[in-house]
Every structure is written in structure tokens, then in C-alpha cells.
Structure 1
Amino acid sequence: MRQANNPAAGAAWTRRAGGLAQVWLKRWRGSALLRPRLISVAHLLSGNLGNVTLMMASLAIATRALGQQEFGVMAVVLTIGRVCERFVRFESWQPLVRFVAAEEERGDPGRLASLYAYGLLLDIAGSCLAAILTVMAAWLIGPLVGLDPSHVDLVAIYALAIAFNIRGMASAALRLAGKFRVLAYIQLAGCLLRLALSAILLAGGAGLVGFVVVWTITQIFDAFLFNLLGFRALRATGVPNPIFADKSDLPGRFPGFMRFAMSTNLSSMIGTVTHEMDTLLVSTFAGPKAAGLYYLSRRIARVAQTAGNMIQTVIYPDLARLWTQAGGTALRQLVTMLQMTLAAMALTAIGACWLAGKPALDLAFGAGYAESYPMLLAQLVAVMLTLHAAPARSALLAMNRPTHVLFASVASLCAFLVAAFMLVPRYGGIGANLAHVAAGAAAVVITDTIFWRTLRRRAAVAAVAGAEA
């Protein structure tokens, strides 16, 4: 009260606040690390928001056109494709980012083109194998997860999208070239096309086959556009076209690349059980209708998770370069900043769901879909835990510790499986959501522990080396 009645004190407080604002503004303008990354993150988040809005609109059309039973069948069809894809697809962008960051110091465009070609060959092989595996899986396990024999044709249609989903090399090229604005908005074209075609199907009274065809066409279109821009980014950075690069003795010229790729592929396979096969598990025990509701909760919750992945898209190349050039201190600061940012995003999403989730689900997807509200709330808690562990996971990959990441993935998988087989048969879809919470908690504990121990060991080694010098 005294300050309010004292003009001099108020003026002094205003000057201090203005001075503090100027200091923070100066730091912001002079920050070589934080400012450009946050700007890139802002582009990615804005693009992601547009993608998510369009995706949700397409899903809303599909739920209203198909009803809960047929939408559940569509969810199972898409999930079989994604499961098979993630089982055999090499996440080639991860080893590419790691190895290209090391090769950049040599400045040899020919070697860089061969390295990108290595990743492209892995992408093509993985996609073709995944498409074949998708059709085989539909024949073998379709009846187990609630699909009729006639639904195998739907899986075969969607397998075309899997065969053409070749984007690992292009993703690495765009990330390393700093084309985060492109990454932010590239999917908008495919999402817009999917929304337009879905609206046409709804107006024409089309059924399940039409929606599976639309999802297939738009995914192929998105992958084509992604690769077109990826090759353009390589050309702009002076890297020759990988298609015409020297492909002789790639394993011998880049030792460790295949081992890194296999390790990240194993991690992806393990993640598939928790992030894709869960829908099939729910369908097996509770039927396609419950699987559709569960699938919807997972897709909505992935809004927050995708936003976190976008932030990692910006930061992962810097993590690799920081570890190579600057060491542990800068890496620790960046990971800590990421974890705090992701925690704030996740808590915001949980709060919004708590306040308005149930009426929003009914309004957006139609009557009956509010049944997925408790599933969504539980899944958002799992997403919060997953997002917290993700920066440390990316840092461990940047530190060339893929086996540690694999160990954390295995432990998380074990936690998920134990919880899922205890809870899903009894509680249905929400049992799988709670199993995700258990898996996320295991990932947080193990990944953070390994990351901080690795940093402490590096600091101790550096201290001993400095003392000896």
C-alpha cells in the first residue's frame, strides 16, 4: 500500500522492470543457440497445429460416415500396416544425422552423397518388406483381431501406402539443412487433400473401402512431396544426388552405420508393441468397436506427443554437434531446457482435457465417442512421461549410445506388456492406456538415470585428463 502511495517508489520499480526487460531482450537477440531454435520450434508447432486440426477434421468425418463398428475396422486395418512398417523399417534419419554430423568436418560431398545413398537403400528395402509383411499379417492374424476375410483386401490396399512411404533419407536432409519451416508445413498439403476427399466421400455416402483408399492415396502423396523437398535440400547444400552416388562397399566405408541403424530399428520394433500393436491387443480382447474408441484416444493424445517430437526434430542435430564439438555441459543445458518445455506443454494438454474433454469429443466426433474420455485422460499422462524421457533418449543417440537406448526401450516394453496383459482383458481399452503410463514411468527412470550417469562419467574423465595435463 505504501508503494502505491509513493510515486518515487513506483517510478523506481518501473525503471527496474524496464531494465530487466532490456537485459532479457539483449540476451534473446544475442543468443546463438536458443533464439534460432525457438523460432524453428514455433514454425514447427504452428505447422503441427494445422496438421492436427486437419487430421482431426478428417477423423471426425470418418467417424460420422462409418459409425463406431466400421471405424473400428478401419483403425485395425491402418494399425496392421503401421505395425508391420515399424517392425522392419529402418529409422535411417537417426544414423544419418549422427554420421553426417561427423562427416561434415571432412567436407567431402562425394562421401556425403554415398552416406545419404546408404540411408536411401535402407529406406527402400524396409518399405518394400513392410508392405509384403502387411498383407501376410492380415491373412494370418486378421480373424484374431476381429477382421473378416473380406477385410484382407482393405489391408492390401493400404499396403501400397506402406511400400511408398520412403522418407528417412529425405527427413535427415531437411533436418541437417535446417529446413524446419519446410518440415512444419510439408504435411499440410497431404492433410488438406485427405480432408477434401473425405468430405467428398461423406457427401457421396461412401463406405469403408472409400476411406481406406483415401488414406492410402494421401499418404503416398505426402511421401512423394517429402522426398521431392528432401532432394532439393541436398542440392541446395552442395551434396550430389544420392541416387547417382558411389554405392560400392558402403558398410566398409561407413563402419558402424549399419549397427547403429539396426539398433534404432530394434528400438522402433519395441516401441511398435506399445505404440501401435496396443490397438490390435484391444481389438483382440474387446473387439473392433472398443479398438476404434481406443484408437481415437491415442490419436488425439498424439497431438501433444507430436509437438514434442517436433521440438526434438529441431534439437537432435544440435545435440549430435554439441556432443562432438562442445561436450557435456552444453548438452546438459539443452536437454534440461527441453524437458522443462515439454513438461509445460503436457500439463497444459492434461488441464485442457480435464476441463473440456468430454463435451469436445461428443461435439467433434459424434454421439457415443465421449466414451473415450477416460482413455484420453490416462493417455495424456502417459504422453507426459514419454515426452520427459524423449530428450534424454535423443541425447544418448547423439552420444553414440544406441545400445543404452535399446535397453531402456526393452525395459519400457516389459513394463507395458506386464501391465497390458493384466489390465486389458479385465478393463478393455483403458487398461492399455494405463499400461502406457507404466511404460512411460519405466522409460523416465531408466533413460534419465543412464543419461546423467554418462554425463558424470565424461566429466570425471575430463577432470582427470585436465589434472594430468
Structure 2
Amino acid sequence: MQPASEPAKRRDGLSNILRNLAWILGGKGFGAVCSFFYLAILARSLGLKDFGHFSLIFGTAQALVAVAGFQTWQTLVRFGAQPVLEEDHPRFGRLIWFCTSADVLGAITGCVIAALLYFGFAEILELNPEYVTMGFLFACALMWSRLTTPSGIVRVLGRFDVGMYIEAVVPTGRLIASGIILWTGASVGKFLFAWAFFDLLSAALYWIAARRLAPQAFHRRHFGHWNQMLRENEGVRSFFGVTYVATTLDAAVRQGPLLAVGYFLGTSAAGLYRLADQLAQGVKQFAVLIARAVLPEFAISSMADEAHRFEGLVRKVTRIAALAGVTVLVLAVFLGEPLLVLIGGFDYARGAVVLIPLAVGAAFELASVSYEPMLYSTGHAKYALRVRVLALAVLVGAILAFVSSGPVGVGWAVALAMSIFYLAMSATVWVILRQLRRKAAAA
């Protein structure tokens, strides 16, 4: 058992989080600059209707990835932290191979679902025949490029610098490809091919990096010991299942509104909604990046630190995220319309009224960014799942009620759902923290 003074020797938890976030943002900040330019090329060169087609194909593929795939990086960070600290390579290796197998199974399943969707239900869903095969191939490419095991290995080992360099490949490639496509003649198919190619390239680089960072753990002799892996990682099955469902629900909240706009209001409305949502998604992506930086530190802190130190860390991150959420909302109100016009042209100016409610929803999501990592790291993932189910139910009901008002109505449905998510998650987290504090005091 470690002495009581041991946790104090560790770097301050917030410093670790900020260091991890700095590495992530180093790559994503560069990516954000690139995305500003390639999104402008994409929106302006395709026009509102074709940009709508591109957006619906991309959104459908992302939804399929979420339904069929697994966020195995969360499992690796949650259960891999201890064997990494103890340098137990065989145990870490068995966990890696379990997650890898789940990733591959998910990708195969996703391709089958995509085939059924695009070739079996194309007429029922009124899909444009011109984009059926194209949409299927893009969905399959995205399925294989979004396996998260290697990124989980990189994160649990604390090598966020490696992740920064790899993740810079996608925005760089998209920007270069967009320029070439603009010069040779823009089409939906060309952009989809470029997006798929660089996603697959980035995925290949992640696997190579993960293999080199953990060569002993990645050895094939650790493959197949499923029973031993389950015994070593108590609760991994329930955690895996809960995080899968939570991620699927999150994808429904993220992609569902866009697909609803496309289904009920048409492709042009989807293009308008997508560009406004893309700006709001930048905030949501920032929230995801914070979660990636927070979860490894929360996982270690929950094991190595006292309850009051862990609670203090959660409170600090929450206050910072809440302030960031308010800042984002103010920027959206004052800069939303100029940005939309700058990126897409005057055809997209009316998307400013859609951006406001989407920014409200993004602000609530950013303010709650520390909550799920906290619940995952303390073994209370099921509560996060329940809150996501509640938020999705509110979203579905609100979309059906507000869709008659057009894209802006769907935007306010998103804002309402995310406000409920924030309030319910806040109450849940503070109850759990109080229980942890009482348990520590009793011990």
C-alpha cells in the first residue's frame, strides 16, 4: 500500500489535464484553421443543394459508425491505467487485443448494416439513386478509419504529442485535396473520396504508432485470453456495454437533427443547417477534446488521490468549462452571421438564426464536459447512460414538435435537449461526489 504522502508527489491533476489538452489543441488548433478554409471551398464550390447531399452522406456515415462501432479508447483508458502504472505488459496486452477484436467486429457489422441501408431500403428512405453506391463506400471507409483502440493506447500512455502529429494529417490532407478539387472541378464524389482517403491514412498511422509505443503489450501471444482478461478487469463488460450505448445515444443527438432536417425539409435545408451546425460542432469538438484530456487524469486521480483532491479537480475543470461555454455563446451571437457569410457566401446568411440555438446547446454541452469522464473513471457509467436516454427522448419529442418551424425549430430542439442533459448530469455528478466524500470520511 502506498504511503499517504505519495499522491502529493504526483503532478497537480489540473496541470496534467492542461498539458494533455495543450498537445491535443496543438494539432486541433492547426486543424481548425485548415477546416475554416476547406469548409469554405466545400460549401462555395458545391452550392447549397450539393453541399446538402454531401452533409447527409457524411452525417449518415458518422451515425453508422456510432451504431456499429465501439469507443474502445474509453475502455483502454479506464482499465489500462493500472497495468500501465504497474508496467504489467501481458495484462495490458490482453486488454488491447480484446478492444481490437471488438473494433474489427464493429467495423464488419457496420459495413453489413450500411449495405442493408443503402441497397435494401434506398427506395423506402427516398435516397437519391446517384449517391447510393457512393454513400455505401464512404460509410465503409469511415467505419474502418474510426477504430479507436490505437488512439486509446496513445492516450493511456500519455503520448498526446504523437496523437497531435497524426491528427494533423486529416485537416492538412483535406485542405490540399480541396484546392486540387476546386482547380479540377468540384463534385460530391471527389470530396467524399478525399475525405475517406485521409481518414484511412490517419487511421493507419495511429495503428503504427500504437504498435511502436507498446510493442510488448501488442504481442500476438496475448491474443485470445478472454476469460483471463475479464477476471483481471472486473466490470469491463458492463462498462463496455454502457459506454457503447452512451456513445450511440450521443451520436443520435449529434447526427439525428441533421438527418431529420434532410428527411423532413430537404437537402437544401440540410445544407443550411449543416454549415450552422458545423460552427457549433467546433465547440462540441472542443468539448470532446477536453474529455479526452480529462479522462486519463481522472482515471489515475480516482485511484491515486484522496476523495477531496479528486472532487476539487472535478470542480476546477467544471468551472473552466462553464466559463468557456458562456464565451462561446457570446461569440456566436455577435460573429455567427459574418462567419457564415465568409465561409459559405450570402446564400448561407439565413443560417445565423439556426446557429444561435445550436450555440446555446453547444454551450450547455461544453459546461458539462467533465461530468461523463468523472462518472466513467469512478465506475458510475450507468448514470451517464440514463441521462443520455433522457436527453434523447427530449430531443425526439422536441424535433417532432418544432420541425414545422424549419431548421431553426430543430436548432431549438437541440438547445432544449442539451439544457436538460446539463441539468440532469450536474445533479447526478454532485450526488456521486458527495457519496464518494462520505465513503472516504467513513474509511
Partner of 2:70: 90
Alignment correspondent of 2:402: 423
Rg (Cα) greater in structure: 1
Aligned match of 2:418 = 440
CA deviation profile, 1:316-346 (whole Å, cap 9, x unmatched): 1111111122243122212211122222222
What is the CA–CA distance in structure 1 between the aligned matches of 2:65 and 2:365, rounded to whole Å? 21
Q: Deviations over 1:41-76 (max 9, x none)?
A: 223223212112212322211112211111101111
CA distance in 2, matches of 1:464, 1:215: 54
Q: Decide whether aligned partners of structure 1 residues 163 and 310 sit closer, same or farther in structure 2, where only a CA change above 3 A counts.
A: closer
Counterpart among 45, 49, 68 of residue 65 in structure 1: 45
The one-letter amino acid paired with 2:268 is K
Q: Which amino acid aligns with 2:406?
A: G
Evaluate the alpha carbon distance shift between residue 393 and residue 249 of structure 1 in structure 2; reply closer, same or farther with a 3 A threshold: closer
Match of 1:452 in 2: 430
Q: Quick check: 37-46 or 140-149, which moved more? A: 140-149
| Alpha carbons 2:13, 2:313 under 8 Å: kept | no
Moved more, 436-445 or 32-41: 32-41
Measured after TM superposition, the shift of residue 244 of structure 1 is 4.5
SS of residue in 2 equivalent to 1:147: coil
Structure 2 counterpart of 1:360: 339
Q: Does 1:124 align with 2:104?
A: yes
Q: Is the aligned partner of 1:45 residue 2:25? A: yes
Instruction: Note if 1:293 corresponds to 2:272.
Output: yes
Q: Does 1:241 align with 2:225?
A: no
| CA deviation vs aligned residue, 1:238-293 (integer Å, no higher than 9, x gap) | x4325452322346444432221111111111112211122111111100111111
Pair 1:419–1:189, CA change in 2 (3 A)? same
Greater alpha carbon shift after TM alignment, 139-148 vs 368-377: 139-148
Structure-2 separation of matches of 1:109 and 1:410? 37
Q: How does 1:69-84 map to 2 (within 5 A)?
A: 69-84=49-64
For residues 16-415 of structure 1, the aligned pairs below 5 Å read 32-104=12-84, 106-140=86-120, 142=122, 147-235=127-215, 239-250=216-227, 252-253=230-231, 254-415=233-394
1:8 matched residue in structure 2? none
Q: Which moved more, 1:314-323 or 1:161-170?
A: 161-170
Asked whether the equivalents of residues 88 and 265 of structure 1 are also in contact (C-alpha less than 8 Å), the reply is no
Deviation at 1:142, TM superposition (A): 4.3
Q: Is 1:343–1:387's contact at 8 Å kept on the other side of the alignment?
A: yes
Please say which of residues 301-310 and 287-296 is displaced more in the overlay. Answer: 301-310
> AA paired with 2:432?
T
- Whole-angstrom distance in 2 between the partners of 1:144 and 1:64: 31
Q: What does residue 23 of structure 1 align with?
A: none
Rounded Cα–Cα distance in structure 2 between residues aligned with 1:146 and 1:54:
34
Greater shift, 438-447 or 338-347, is seen at 338-347
State the alpha-carbon separation in 1 of the partners of residues 249 and 16 from structure 2.
34
TM-score by length of 2: 0.92
Q: Distance in 2 between matches of 1:308 and 1:331?
A: 20
The C-alpha deviation readout for 1:150-199, integer Å capped at 9, x for no partner, is 21011122023224224321111111111122223422122111111121
Which runs of no fewer than 5 residues in structure 1 stay unpaired?
A: 1-29
Amino acid corresponding to residue 429 of structure 1 in structure 2? P
Summarize the Cα distance change of 1:242–1:159 in structure 2 as closer, same or farther, 3 Å threshold. Answer: farther
Q: Partners of 1:456 and 1:372 in 2: how far apart?
A: 43
Q: Could you tell me how far apart the structure 1 residues matched to 2:407 and 2:119 are?
A: 24
3-state SS of paired residue (1:400)? coil
CA–CA distance in 2 between the matches of 1:341 and 1:46?
19
Q: Which residue of 2 aligns with 1:12?
A: none
- Give unpaired runs (5+ residues) of structure 2: 1-9
Cα distance 1:392–1:206, how it changes in 2: closer, same or farther (>3 A)?
A: closer
Residue 303 of structure 2 aligns with an amino acid whose one-letter code is T
Deviations along 1:282-314, one digit per CA (max 9) or x if unpaired, are 111100111111111222112122222222222
CA–CA distance in structure 1, aligned partners of residues 383 and 279 of structure 2: 30
**1:59-115: per-residue Cα shift (whole Å, max 9, x none)?**
211112211111101111111111111012111111111111233455421111111
Change beyond 3 A, Cα 1:125–1:31: closer
Distance (Å, rounded) in 2 between the aligned partners of 1:460 and 1:65: 59
Aligned partner of 1:15 in structure 2 is none
In 1: Cα distance, 2:284 partner to 2:252 partner: 17
Residues 358, 414 of structure 2: 8 Å contact kept: yes
Native 8 Å contact 1:116 1:169 kept in 2: yes
SS where residue 127 of structure 2 aligns? coil
Question: For each residue in 1:192-248, what CA deviation from the matched residue of structure 2 results, as whole angstroms up to 9, or x when unmatched?
Answer: 11111121111111322111111111211121122222222223xxx4325452322
Give the Cα–Cα distance (whole angstroms) in 1 for the partners of residues 33 and 240 of structure 2.
33
Which TM-score applies when normalising by structure 1?
A: 0.87
Contact 1:396–1:402 (Cα < 8 Å) also in 2: yes
Q: 1:337 to 1:143 in 2, by over 3 A?
A: farther
Give me the whole-angstrom Cα distance separating, in 2, the residues matched to 1:141 and 1:283: 16
Query: Hey, what's the Cα distance between the residues in 2 that align with 1:362 and 1:248?
Result: 56
> Is the CA contact (8 Å cut-off) linking 1:145 and 1:287 kept in structure 2?
no
Q: RMSD value over aligned CA atoms?
A: 2.0
CA contact (8 A) 2:322 2:368 kept: no
CA spacing shift, 1:166–1:124, aligned 2, 3 Å: farther
